Amino acid sequence: MTGYDPDSVKCVVWDLDGTLWDDIAVETPTDELPTPRPEMLAAIDALAARGVLSSIASRSAPTVLDRLAGRPEVRERFLAPQVSWQDKSESLRRIAKDLGIAVEALVLVDDSPYERAEVEALLPGVRTLAPEDVPALLAAFEGREVTPESRERVRRYRTEETRRAEGERFSGSREEFLRWCDMRLTIGAAAPDEIPRALELAARTHRLNSSGLTPDRLRELAASEGHALYTARMADRFGSYGVIGAALVDRTDPAAWSVPLLALSCRVAGRGAAAAFLFRLMRRAREAGADTFQVTLRPTDANLEMRILLRQAGLRRADDTPGTTPDTAPGTAPGTAPATAPDAAVLVRSLHGDLPEPPPYLHVTEQDHREDAEA
């Protein structure tokens, strides 16, 4: 695991036979499942404490998963498990889809060199490990800060499974279901105890991340004059999502609010939270007297959803102007280090006229903006 970034790991997928336990489940003489290896259960729990999910991908009879349901103390550790005779690569694709994360955020632990090779060939972005590599995996997480959201991540994904099940049973439209969920988004200046979560979002989100600003750069800019860090919390009838969004706002030019980073958890994708967060920041900028609103965008293979959102919000690439380069975006004070990578672009729109509104099923409120009194 040397040189491996644990921020990229969102879920570890475990094989069963020969990995989670020693024996082969379908060959046991009774319906009793093999006893899991204590060190593997301890590893799963240690990962969960750091916000890393666990799932199952096993090439075995689907009835093994039914039998596993009779062992809730084991089954409850796993989300979106896949037990079938399909290829492991296909199982991993389904797990990623069910969890709403990129397949590259998965790590497979499997005792079979063949199964690891199959996944590496068909899903080259997925890291594969043998069971004896698990201690090194755990060591990669040592010393890293654990946020309250990280400790709650497994529970919140379980709540998400409940939401998904309720949505499948709901007889109305998708929008009617979202309205029934009583979704509430609260936006405000980041409290001190929310900053670690904002840094985590900058590091771990990819689908809904505008620029890929590093946590260190985000921390530096958030503490600098003329900048403010906003967060968004979300809740619904099923419970709290916690802090699901972060935005760094550069107000060094009062006439042109600039957002070097907009990042949201993939758990809220498709629910209007990203749009509502962005639109409320636009409205806040106009209320503060700004004429234009800018967002730094670094296009990647993963953030197409964010790019579509920015375009739907009326943001377009800024025209080249004297003294403005991809390294010195509008809103960046002359002589300061650039906030983003050289391949980033600045998208801009006027704040005059009608501004887009959040989805009607999402109730949006604002907390006190403490930074206004400090500006």
What is the C-alpha to C-alpha distance for residues 349 and 19, in angstroms, rounded to an integer?
A: 54
CATH level 3 topology of 6-139: Rossmann fold (3.40.50)
Task: Give pLDDT tens digits for 233-281.
Answer: 999 999 999 999 999 999 999 999 999 999 999 888 889 999 999 999 9
Query: Are residues 190 and 198 in contact, defined by beta-carbon separation less than 8 angstroms?
Result: yes
Alpha-helix residue ranges (DSSP H) falling in 189-236: 195-204, 215-222
pLDDT tier, 6 (very low <50, low <70, confident <90, very high otherwise):
confident
- Which pLDDT belongs to residue 27? 85
Q: Residue 132: helix, strand or coil by DSSP?
A: helix
pLDDT-wise least confident of 2-11, 19-28, 255-264? 2-11
Task: Give pLDDT tens digits for 314-324.
Answer: 999 986 433 33
What is the C-alpha to C-alpha distance for residues 251 and 265, in angstroms, rounded to an integer?
A: 25
What is the C-alpha to C-alpha distance for residues 232 and 184, in angstroms, rounded to an integer?
A: 10
310, containing H or E segment: helix 304-312
Task: Give pLDDT tens digits for 190-239.
Answer: 999 999 999 999 988 888 999 989 999 999 999 999 999 999 999 999 99
The CATH 3.40.50.1000 domain(s) of the chain lie at 6-139
- Return the structure tokens found at 271: 């629910």
Is the confidence at residue 78, as pLDDT, over 50? yes
- Which pLDDT belongs to residue 374? 38
The CATH 3.40.630.30 domain(s) of the chain lie at 148-374
Buried b / exposed e over 163-196, threshold 16 CB at 10 Å, is beeeeeeeeeeeeebbbebebbbebbbbeeebbb
- Which pLDDT belongs to residue 343? 76
The single-letter code of the amino acid at 286 is R
pLDDT tier, 285 (very low <50, low <70, confident <90, very high otherwise):
very high
- Averaged pLDDT of the chain: 88
- Return the structure tokens found at 114: 């063949």
pLDDT tier, 100 (very low <50, low <70, confident <90, very high otherwise):
confident
Residues in CB range of 60: below 8 A, 6 or more apart: 16, 17, 24, 25, 26, 83, 84, 85
Residues in CB range of 314: below 8 A, 6 or more apart: 349, 356
CB-CB neighbours of 330 under 10 Å: 17
Q: In what order do the strands lie in the sheet with 82-84?
A: 82-84, 53-59, 11-14, 106-109, 127-129
294, containing H or E segment: strand 292-297
Q: Where are the beta strands (DSSP E) in 147-271?
A: 183-189, 227-236, 239-250, 256-264
Query: Are residues 313 and 279 in contact, defined by beta-carbon separation less than 8 angstroms?
Result: yes
Q: Does domain 148-374 have CATH number 3.40.50.970?
A: no
What is the C-alpha to C-alpha distance for residues 19 and 5, in angstroms, rounded to an integer?
A: 24
CB-CB neighbours of 323 under 10 Å: 7
Measured in whole angstroms, the distance separating CA 5 from the mean position of its chain's CA atoms is 15
Residue with tokens 């069910």: 98
CA separation (Å) from 250 to 59, 132, 158, 220, 224?
A: 51, 47, 37, 12, 9
Which has the higher per-residue pLDDT, 282 or 26? 282
Q: Residue 228: helix, strand or coil by DSSP?
A: strand
CB-CB neighbours of 94 under 10 Å: 17
Which pTM does this prediction carry?
Answer: 0.74
- Return the structure tokens found at 124: 């080259």
What is the C-alpha to C-alpha distance for residues 46 and 9, in angstroms, rounded to an integer?
A: 14
What is the C-alpha to C-alpha distance for residues 229 and 221, in angstroms, rounded to an integer?
A: 9
What's the DSSP call for residue 7?
Answer: G
Helices (H) and strands (E) in the chain, counts: 13, 13
What is the C-alpha to C-alpha distance for residues 87 and 175, in angstroms, rounded to an integer?
A: 35
Buried b / exposed e over 288-297, threshold 16 CB at 10 Å, is bebebbbbbb
- Which pLDDT belongs to residue 326? 40
